[in-house]
Amino acid sequence: MSSTSRVETSLTPAPVYTLKAQIPVLQGSSDARVTNFNDEMSLLTQEEIAKFKDNASEVRVPTGSTGSSYEQQYTLLSPPGNLISLQFQIKIYIYQTSRPRVHTRTVNYDLETGKDVTIDQLFLAGSDYLTRISNYCVTQLKGRPIDFASYFNGAQPNLQNYGNWNITPEGFQITFAEGQVAATQQQVVVPYAELQAVIDPHGPLAGFLSK
């Protein structure tokens, strides 16, 4: 996997902004599964940039100011293999707002099937996997100095709360957005040992089951 960069500067007409986006790309093959991945990464970036430009166009920027800014980076979190688990960190500043905002998007792609992996494909059908994940996350978050009690609902076991996840060698990583379980973004890695009873032995996490 390599990266391409999209860099833009717009000083006039509105919106006024600077933009830099790092985009993952697979090279060396014309296989449809590779092409699908590259197209998906490009579309994700286009969607995020379009939302940013819409917001940036709503503010008036004085002459000489660099205005708003967009910065996108990604990290490959998965171990070597057909599963590609990426975390995008997108930092956006809209002119005259108090501070930049950071949000995360995750992509979990199976190169063998050429499709995204959904969370329900990882665990046994009918299992209480969300409850197990939530219980572990709640315990970890309660031990942090983040005033978690004020944000308790953001870690309850529903799919909306656990939409940003990654497959890492250390465990199943959950990323909570700013304002979801704390004022700042939080991450919790759930060890696979905590999920042994609910991991589908024929699913993408089968390699993390204890022998």
For the record, the structure tokens of 43 come out as 């579309």
Q: What is the pLDDT of residue 145?
A: 97
pLDDT bin (cut points 50, 70, 90) of residue 210 is: confident
Q: Write phi, then psi, for 198 (nearest 5 degrees).
A: -120, -5
Instruction: Give 12-67 pLDDT, tens digit per residue.
Output: 778 999 999 999 999 989 999 999 999 999 999 999 999 999 999 999 888 878 89
| pLDDT computed for residue 154 by the predictor | 97
Coil, strand, or helix at residue 142?
A: helix
CA within 13 Å, CB half, 95? 21
Predicted confidence at residue 11, as pLDDT, reads 87
Q: How far is it, in rounded angstroms, from Cα 78 to Cα 16?
A: 37
Environment class of 158 (CB within 10 Å of its CB; exposed 0-12, middle 13-18, buried 19+) = exposed
| pLDDT tens figures, 64-119 | 788 999 999 999 999 999 999 999 999 999 998 989 999 999 999 999 999 999 99
